[in-house]
Structures are given as C-alpha cells and as structure tokens.
Structure 1
C-alpha cells in the first residue's frame, strides 16, 4: 500500500538540505512512499495535505516557522504522522518557537571545538573524532539493533533534552583543559519520542553528505524513517 511522505527542506545552506534529502528520496520511493518535496515549512499550515501525510522528513536548520505552520505540524504528529530528521535539520530548527523544542524533545546547544591552536577559522574547527555508543535499549530497538558502536569525525552535538525521549545511542564530550566544563557530558545521539499517536525520530550525526553516507548513519536514518512512519504499537 502506498503511503505519503512529505520532505521539507531549507534553512541554512551549510547543511546542504537539497542534496542531503535527495539522498533519501529514492529509499522512500523504494519503500512505497509517494514523496512530495517542499522548500518551506509553511506547507505544514495546509490542513488538507497534513491530514493525509504518513511521514514528514524535515531538513530545515535554524530558520523560522509561523504559528499556523507549527500547529499544523504538531497536529499531524498528534494524529499519527511520523516526523523524522537528522542533525540541525530537526534538532536545531525554529529557535524562535519553544513549542517546537518541546515537540522534538532535544535541542542543539553547541558543538565543541578542537584545541585553539589547531583551529583555522572554518567549519573544520568543530570536527572532532568521537564515538557513538548504542545504549542497551538501542541494542533491542528495531532502528539500531545489530548496529555496533561506531566512530565519526565531524561535529559532535551537545544536546539539551528532557526525559520523555527514548535514547538509542549516546556520545560523550570529554573534559579538555581548553574547555570550561569539569566532568564528561553525555548527550543523546539517536532518540525516539512518542507524541500523541505519532512517532518522532532524531539522529544528531549528519552535518555533511560524507557523514550521511557512513553506513552506520545511513542505516539508522533509513530505519528511523520507517519506524516513525509506522502506527503499529510497540
């Protein structure tokens, strides 16, 4: 049976929203989704469209969202639509809307940098080698089951979050003499959330196309989209 997927992309160009989402459109089509692509979150204000959507894949870093558009997105999730995304396209969207932050359950705060002596003033200042560790829940969950811990060299997201998320993978920011914190900080790297009848999936890796091509990251995102689109009980 064909289902409906809405891909919404835009915001900061540095995350390559067009190219990044284009990587996953064929996967959705291969899994019997009728895919519609929009370049603005204002499509969420279309109540008729949102009443029929089974999955929203969002890649909109920062930017702004109108009240009507946000209410349309939240209502769609509450009635059972899935919401899925990666990196800043979902965890650093619409900073002006606190209700959106509550819906997602986790918000980008920063990505710590290299030692100051190694910084050169471009995006690579924030590229660190770090581990993504699958949690005990993650080892049993259909999104991450069979995925081993893995290592990336990219932005390592420091995330503020609440206790209503189910964390499937984490990453730990170590103590460094050039940073002001005094003990290691563990942030969720992959999580799910239930909101009304809907499912939300978030993966924080995904800064670049190379990261999205990583076999672990791509597998998690593909499985996460399918999980979010399902209305079956867990």
Structure 2
C-alpha cells in the first residue's frame, strides 16, 4: 500500500502514544510500512517526505519549526495524504498560520456542562451530542453506510473555511449559561484537497474509548486509506 509516517507528541492528555498505537495494526494489515516519530522535525527531511504516502499526526498544541512546516506543506501539495483526529490535527501548532491554512479548521473550544454540575476535571466538558452525517457524507467513501451517532465526550467547536468538504457536523445548542444566542454547527469530519494531496480531519477522539467507538474508528481508518497517495493515484 505504501509508506506511512506516524508523528505523535505534544500534550500528553490526549495519550498520543497509546492513541496512535491503536491504529498501527490496521496500517500494517493494509500493507503500509510504518515509521513512527516523536517530533514533527521529520517533516523537514525531503527524502523521507517524498517517500511518504500517508502521514498520521497526533500532536496536540506544541510548536513546529519553519523548515518542518514548509516540508509538510510541500509534501501534501505533492500528494502525501495527511490525517488525524481531535486535537492531534485540529489543535496542533496554534501559532503557525500556515499550518491552520493547510488543515482548514482549528479547535476554538469545547463547551462545558451547566456550572453546578461540574466536578473540576475533564468530564466538565463531556457532553452528550450527535454527529450528523451530511448529504455529501452519505455518498463519500469515508462515511458511506454510516448513520448519525451519539457520543458523550468533548464536542469540538471549530473555526473553519469553505474549502473543506464536510462529511459530518455537530451542533452546539443554546444554553442559559453560555453567551451565544443561536445554535452553532461545526464540522465534525471533513476532507480537504490541497494540491495533489488529500487531508482528512476527524474531531472526535479525546480519549481511547472514543477512538474505539465503532463509528469513530471506522471513519479514521477509512480516512487513512482514502487520504493515502496510493489511493488517490488509483
């Protein structure tokens, strides 16, 4: 199938090692030779990047050097697939505007529970919400056959542009303790064409149990295959 580069690191709260380890057997079973790196610095190596068909990134927040970011952008434009989930792709390298443009969407917040119900831990932001497949998503190879599904976890509010092709959305309702005045719909799963490359972003994935949800895992795994240069060339 080709060469896959797994890049992981950043904020440890998203369990980058354990999360990416969940998908290494899938990549191997689908014929990828997998190389794992604990820093985005590998993106600055043109020989590695030109031989890479798929990048799976799980790096929340953190920072990226200019040469590495330029290498990532050039590789994707040349046909390398780029995918990931949750903060590992949609909340990476906040200070790098060229990265945000590449991905097309950026985590803004995850609204919380009613204040009196908060315990002072991460569950304060665990809301039951629905991921709704769009009309485009119903026919797309990544999401075809899936129905709307419900999760109780962080619900990402995403700032995005209209170059993304949205396969699924989630809607943040109006609540008395929040300052917005009408429901806000955010993309939950999207693809993006960038030069010859394909990008797939799946916003659910805060914890290992969410990544093992049947629908979430299906989207991530199909997204890897769809994004890969080997698939886009076929």
Matched, 1:232 2:201: no
Distance 2:181 2:220 in 1: 33
Matched, 1:155 2:150: no
Equivalent position of 2:110 in the other structure: 111
The alpha carbon displacement at 1:231 in A equals: 1.8
The alpha carbon displacement at 1:124 in A equals: 0.4
* 1:149-182 deviation digits (Å, cap 9, x = unpaired): 0000000000000000000000000000010000
* 1:78-108 deviation digits (Å, cap 9, x = unpaired): 0000000000000000001000000000000
Matched, 1:70 2:69: yes
User: Which secondary structure state, in structure 1, belongs to the residue aligned with residue 83 of structure 2?
Assistant: strand
Equivalent position of 2:17 in the other structure: 18
User: Which secondary structure state, in structure 1, belongs to the residue aligned with residue 215 of structure 2?
Assistant: helix
Equivalent position of 1:221 in the other structure: 220
Matched, 1:121 2:120: yes
Distance 1:65 1:95 in 2: 9
- Counterpart mapping for 1:81-120 below 5 A: 81-120=80-119
Distance 1:212 1:101 in 2: 23
Equivalent position of 2:6 in the other structure: 7
The alpha carbon displacement at 1:232 in A equals: 3.5
Distance 2:193 2:233 in 1: 12
User: Which secondary structure state, in structure 2, belongs to the residue aligned with residue 63 of structure 1?
Assistant: coil
Distance 2:118 2:42 in 1: 40
User: Which secondary structure state, in structure 2, belongs to the residue aligned with residue 180 of structure 1?
Assistant: coil
The alpha carbon displacement at 1:120 in A equals: 1.2
Distance 2:196 2:232 in 1: 8
Distance 2:141 2:224 in 1: 11
Runs of 4+ in 1 over 2 A off after TM superposition: none
Matched, 1:43 2:46: no
User: Which secondary structure state, in structure 2, belongs to the residue aligned with residue 182 of structure 1?
Assistant: coil
Q: Give unpaired runs (5+ residues) of structure 1.
A: none
User: Which secondary structure state, in structure 1, belongs to the residue aligned with residue 232 of structure 2?
Assistant: coil
Distance 2:75 2:208 in 1: 29
Distance 1:158 1:148 in 2: 21
- Counterpart mapping for 1:22-37 below 5 A: 22-37=21-36
Distance 2:172 2:165 in 1: 20
CA RMSD of aligned residues (A): 0.7
Q: How many residue pairs were aligned?
A: 232
Distance 1:24 1:157 in 2: 22
Equivalent position of 1:174 in the other structure: 173
Distance 1:81 1:231 in 2: 9
Distance 1:119 1:231 in 2: 45
Equivalent position of 1:140 in the other structure: 139
The alpha carbon displacement at 1:135 in A equals: 0.1
